[in-house]
Amino acid sequence: MIKRIKDFFSKNPSLWEFVKYTIFSLLAGWTELLIFMLLNYVLPKNGINKEISWFIFVYPTEAGGLGALIAFVISSVIGQALKFITNFKKTFKSTNNILLSAIGFAVMAVIIVVGLNLYVGGLLNTALCKVIPNADLAGTIAKAVCQMAGFLLAFPVNKFIQYSKNTCDFSHGMNCQR
């Protein structure tokens, strides 16, 4: 049975990458979610719950306010860092310049963190708080939905752009590999 599984994945390396990506992302995602749940519980309960309504970020007091925003930001940054570290070498076995890859990943992560986790997460959290009387549960559901959307968006970007072996290294002249 194990041999058949190994043979299957050796014939389907992209699928094996997706499995590894899923495993590492789940581990980082659970860590991110647990950090969020802890901070989202502790911060608003300790007076860090002032309403935030700035630019695209709207976090009313009943949805955790500033505490919920901080929980989304800190947990997202930690989760994205874990995903970058594990997927760079373990999943995609990237040999790209780690600094350039980190910069590219950071741009993608900012889009995911700001666009999904903060903006959409805030909207979803606020909407869920209107139908779910428990703000902690509403925030956790919003966070999990945003994480799943980020996961689905990030895999193709990581595989085909971020860690692709089709890279150009301009540090020693024009040296592109395809």
- Tokens (6 digits) for 40: 């989202």
d(CA 171, CA 78): 30
Which tens digit of pLDDT belongs to each residue from 109-148?
888 878 888 889 999 999 999 999 999 999 999 999 998 9
Structure confidence at residue 171 (pLDDT): 46
User: What are 58's strand-pairing partners?
Assistant: 53
Q: What is the DSSP letter of 61?
A: G
Q: Give Cα separations from 173 to 32, 168, 176 (angstroms).
A: 40, 10, 9
- Tokens (6 digits) for 163: 């860690």
Q: Give Cα separations from 142 to 64, 133, 149, 163, 168 (angstroms).
A: 13, 14, 11, 29, 39
Question: pTM, whole model, 2 decimals?
Answer: 0.76
Specify the 3-state DSSP secondary structure of 171: strand
Which tens digit of pLDDT belongs to each residue from 50-108?
999 988 888 999 889 999 999 989 998 999 899 999 999 899 888 888 899 899 988 98
* Residue among 70, 74, 94, 78 nearest 20 (CA): 94
Structure confidence at residue 176 (pLDDT): 42
